[in-house]
Amino acid sequence: MCNATVGLEITLKACNLSGEVIVPAFTFAATAHAVQWAGLTPVFCDIDRRTHNIDPEDVERQITPRTSAIIPTHLWGRPCDIDTLELIAARHGLRLIFDSAHAFGCSYKGRPIGSFGDAEVFSFHATKIVTTFEGGAVATNDASLAERISLMRSFGFVDYDEVVSPGTNGKLSEPAAAMGLTSLEDVAGFIDANRRHHAQYRQMLGGLPGVSVIEFNAVDTPNYQYVVSEIDGSESGLGRDALQQVLWAENVLARRYFYPGCHRMPPYTRAGGRPARELPRTDDLASKVLCLPTGTAVSADEVAGVCEIVRYAVTHADEITSRVGVPG
């Protein structure tokens, strides 16, 4: 696919869905946008605060007669509770489509991500572990669904000049595909570099009040694509946003991910900017997450430098908070 967003849109169309689709609010906006662009209504769900992934219990609470599908996200490459989600989808007769943008190369209980649900959609954007500059892919075990997706991806062409169904231009370009093949050759090295950076961040930031770096379960073959920290201002004395300002001032482009949550973005709020549902765990996480630099372009010395800035900022929290003007 030309990108993962189009991959989601085409997959939703190919599944012939209607009504509502349950999605996590703590995900990239494209997950919700793809649902909306397909003429469906996204229904936002809260997360499991420990894993950051969609909460299966809240998923089941949101199912109505209008629900036709669930789109969980394997956030940070950490797999969702796939077994429970598959049981829920089967019990209610729903399609299960995973947003696997973060999870290339990861696994769940020994099975590769890409082999679950009705379909899984990957991203090969420049920020991902395998990149085609811009691109994506859809994986499915359903041959009939695969055929419909393939037709829709290429204007409905079944032969050189024979069109048998409506479609769009969702193909991956040849230069992008060539970049992807080159990236695949080096993926083991990318993961190894990310693993080393992640371990260094955890070691150097360990014990710092109010600062934690999430762990990965090595059994699920993580790709360590993201170094995700949580900043608890009540313990560190320095809020996430203030710490981000400090890092940006030092040319460290740390990012607060998925803020403020899709449920609080204007396309999906009610009058006055109110969310359709209050999602307290999503709100809490969205106020604390800060992703730190990683990847092969980052050296161990640079990781150490980032950690020194974070440690200095937390140690001097009162002074910094008064200077940056952002509440701690």
In a domain, 227, yes or no: yes
Residues 138 and 240 in one domain: no
pLDDT digits (tens, 9 = 90+) for 57-71: 999 999 999 999 999
Higher-pLDDT residue of 72 and 160 is 72
pLDDT digits (tens, 9 = 90+) for 23-56: 999 999 999 999 999 999 999 999 999 999 999 9
Q: Please report, for the domain that includes residue 95, its CATH number.
A: 3.40.640.10
Residue 44: strand pairing partners? 23
Residues 124 and 217 in one domain: no
In a domain, 268, yes or no: no
Residues 119 and 208 in one domain: no
Residues 116 and 207 in one domain: no
Residues 176 and 193 in one domain: no
Number of domains in the chain: 2
Residues 96 and 242 in one domain: no
pLDDT at 320: 87
Residues 93 and 147 in one domain: yes
Q: Are 43 and 62 in contact (CB under 8 A)?
A: yes
Q: pLDDT category, 326, cuts 50, 70, 90?
A: low
Average pLDDT over residues 281-292: 98
Q: Give which of 31, 123, 77, 17 is closest to 45, Cα–Cα.
A: 31
Q: Widest CA span of the chain, in angstroms?
A: 69
Pairing relationship of beta strands 20-24 and 67-70 according to DSSP bridges: parallel
pLDDT digits (tens, 9 = 90+) for 198-247: 999 999 999 999 999 999 998 999 999 999 999 999 999 999 999 999 99
In a domain, 269, yes or no: no
pLDDT at 321: 82
CA distance 225 to 128: 7
Percentage of residues of the chain with pLDDT beyond 70: 99
Domain hosting 79: range is 4-184
Residues 136 and 159 in one domain: yes
Residues 210 and 307 in one domain: yes
Residues 157 and 200 in one domain: no
Neighbours of 322 (CB within 10 A): 9
Average pLDDT over residues 74-91: 97
Residues 96 and 198 in one domain: no
Domain boundary, last residue among 184, 218, 246: 184
Domain boundary, last residue among 135, 150, 184: 184
Q: Which own/partner contact pairs does 299-302 have at CB distance under 8 Å and 24+ positions apart?
A: 300/196, 300/197, 300/200
Q: Which residues of 114-146 are buried (b: 16+ CB within 10 A; e: fewer)?
A: bebbbbbbbbbbeebbbbbebbbbbbbeeeebe
In a domain, 8, yes or no: yes
pLDDT digits (tens, 9 = 90+) for 103-150: 999 999 999 999 999 999 999 999 999 999 999 999 999 999 999 999
Domain boundary, last residue among 134, 162, 184: 184
Percentage of residues of the chain with pLDDT beyond 90: 93
CA distance 216 to 219: 9
pLDDT at 191 over 80: yes
pLDDT at 28: 97
3-state secondary structure of 29: helix
pLDDT at 83 over 80: yes
Pairing relationship of beta strands 211-213 and 162-163 according to DSSP bridges: unpaired
Q: Please report, for the domain that includes residue 303, its CATH number.
A: 3.90.1150.10
Residues 226 and 120 in one domain: no
Edge to edge, what strands does the sheet with 95-99 contain?
Answer: 41-45, 20-24, 67-70, 95-99, 119-123, 136-139
Chain-wide mean pLDDT for the chain?
A: 96
In a domain, 277, yes or no: no
Neighbours of 156 (CB within 10 A): 16
3-state secondary structure of 56: helix
In a domain, 276, yes or no: no
pTM of the model: 0.95
Helices marked H in 27-140 — which ranges?
A: 29-37, 56-62, 82-92
In a domain, 262, yes or no: no
pLDDT at 323: 78
pLDDT at 324: 72
pLDDT at 328: 55
In a domain, 279, yes or no: no
